[in-house]
Amino acid sequence: MTDTRTITVVSAGLSQPSSTRLLADRLAQATTARLAADGVTAEVHVIELRDLAQDITNNLLTGFAAPRLAAAIEQLTASDGAIFVTPIFTTSYSGLFKSFIDVLDPDALSGMPVLLGATGGTERHSLALEYAMRPLFSYLHAAVVPTTVYAASSDWGSTGDAAAYAGGGGLPERIDRAAGELAALVRDSDRASRVRDPFALPDGFSPVGGFGAQ
Q: List interacting residues with another protein (CB under 8 A).
A: 57-58, 61-64, 66-67, 70, 198-202, 205-214
Residues 6+ apart with CB under 8 A from 190: 1, 80
Strands (E), 49-172: 81-89, 92-93, 113-120, 143-144, 149-152
Which residue lies nearer to another protein by CB, 163 or 200? Answer: 200
- From the list 129, 109, 111, the residue with the least C-alpha distance to 23 is 129
Q: CB atoms < 10 A from the CB of 207, how many? A: 5
Which residue lies nearer to another protein by CB, 62 or 90? Answer: 62
- What is the closest distance, in whole angstroms, from the C-beta atom of residue 182 to another protein in the complex? 32
- The whole-angstrom separation of Cα 168 and Cα 211 is 57
Residues 6+ apart with CB under 8 A from 186: 5, 7, 31, 35, 40, 42, 80, 81, 113
- The whole-angstrom separation of Cα 146 and Cα 161 is 20
Q: Are strands 81-89 and 92-93 parallel, antiparallel or unpaired?
A: antiparallel
Which residue lies nearer to another protein by CB, 17 or 210? Answer: 210
- What is the closest distance, in whole angstroms, from the C-beta atom of residue 209 to another protein in the complex? 4
Torsions phi, psi of 4, nearest 5?
-115, 140
- What is the closest distance, in whole angstroms, from the C-beta atom of residue 105 to another protein in the complex? 10
Which residue lies nearer to another protein by CB, 24 or 56? Answer: 56
Which residue lies nearer to another protein by CB, 163 or 205? Answer: 205
Q: Decide if 119 contacts 88 (C-beta within 8 A).
A: yes
- What is the closest distance, in whole angstroms, from the C-beta atom of residue 191 to another protein in the complex? 21
Which residue lies nearer to another protein by CB, 157 or 209? Answer: 209
- What is the closest distance, in whole angstroms, from the C-beta atom of residue 196 to another protein in the complex? 13
- What is the closest distance, in whole angstroms, from the C-beta atom of residue 132 to another protein in the complex? 26
Q: How far is CA 89 from the centre of its chain?
A: 18
